[in-house]
Copies of this chain bind each other. A is one copy, B any other.
Amino acid sequence: MKTYKDLAPSLRTIMTPGPVEVDPRVLRAMSYPILGQFDPEFTALMNETMGMLRELFQTQNQWAFPVDGTSRSGLEAVLVSIIEPGDRVLVPVYGRFGNLFIEIAERCGAEVVMLEQPWGTVFDPEVIVEAIYREKPNVVAMVHGETSTGCLQPFDGIGAACRSVDALLVVDAVATIGGVPVLTDEWLLDAVIGGTQKCLSVPAGMSPITYNERVEAKVLQRKTIERGLREAGSAVSDRRPVASNYFDLGMLQDYWSPKRLNHHTEATSMLYALREGLRLVLEEGLEARFARHRRHEAALVAGLTAMGMALFGDPACKLPVVTCIRIPEGVDGESVRGMLLNHFGIEIASSFGPLKGQIWRIGTMGFSCRESNVLQVLGALEATLLRHGVQVKVGRAVQAALDVYGAEV
């Protein structure tokens, strides 16, 4: 019989755009013995988590809870619950995750209208507003921060345009939630999907979402009670039900409401982790947390620039939590990443599709977003590039970052 060794993962400095390092308090939370899913102590923790998510999303929405799956499970739960086959869905695409929205919407049977911007740029919001008035879609699905390209999309006027044509505005804030302001109510976002493994620094496996009464109204039109749970005389909707049981928001909200109507078995330890991650966010304070992310980004960018590296993407729309670096001509990007991991224990990321082999991506997210990590990645990258024969400006990167930090001897 094959034997399997004790778990003993190496300690890494994780500077990718997720998953990032997890705060020890969150790791500890996951090691607590579990409670049953309907234990009043556990449902109280669920309710507290909903309250904290409302603060995180800066919303008064009633509904704010995690979907039990990785980030894209939250995207799919929202889309499959509001899109009926034949609905028109407008998707502005400026990177990989806009494409994911199309991918999911098409599988929901939507007629997708795509807008495209070159990777590394974002849309002038006015262009999207015009498209909304022209196309009159049922749903507009947009990415707030594109981790694939390191760009941040502004929303000026888009929420109001959606209201005026009665479209629902769905926003992927997986990369931005907890690191960059996401003003759900102020921006008139109808549904927002966050991620745990990025700026919240909780392991992957849950996707916190929030949605308002406009989305809920749509959800309730197709609501059913699950077979095997129905009591005699339960109403059955004559609308075509949501194509997924697992992702049916009508059922999920019954489970997260005081009704506690059984659906899945809530992922206990992940809920403990999310709750602790949210406590850390609220203890730090949202504004202080956003400022911290900008500060370490500034240090990283100063260091990379001083080293002589070229950044990828339009600086005017740079996502503060992801910095993309053009891989120098003739350098094997994967060899550099391998050396960083194997010799320094530092992980940075590559990218996808058209950017594969073209850029590296460094995340400054959540618990990984701290001075020691930024200084270490700069020093290690300089040494690794030198080892690969790249003519970097030696000795400057870490000094430039220390300048940003105002480091005194």
Contact = CB atoms under 8 A, between A and B. Distances in A.
Interface of A: 1-2, 4, 7, 9-12, 14, 16, 18-19, 21-22, 27-37, 39-42, 45, 48, 51-52, 68-73, 76, 80, 95-100, 102-104, 106-108, 148, 197, 203-205, 226-231, 241-247, 262-270, 272-273, 275-276, 278-279, 282, 341, 347, 352-353, 356
Chief secondary structure at chain A's binding surface: loop
A353 B39 CA distance: 20
Given A282-B4, A347-B36, A245 B70 contact: no
Contacts of A272: 7, 9
B32 A7 contact: yes
A22 B30 contact: no
B76 A275 contact: no
A213 B36 CA distance: 37
Q: How many copies of this chain are found per oligomer?
A: 2
Contacts of A104: 245
Nearest to A27: B31
Given A70-B267, A204-B264, A229 B353 contact: yes
Given A76-B244, A102-B227, A242-B107, A265 B34 contact: no
Contacts of A48: 4
Residue from A72, A241, A276, A356 whose CB has the most chain B CB atoms within 10 Å: A72
11 contacts: A11-B33, A14-B36, A27-B31, A31-B31, A39-B341, A39-B347, A68-B73, A69-B246, A72-B245, A246-B247, A269-B273
A76 B231 CA distance: 24
B203 A269 contact: yes
A204 B268 contact: yes
B279 A4 contact: yes
A40 B229 CA distance: 44
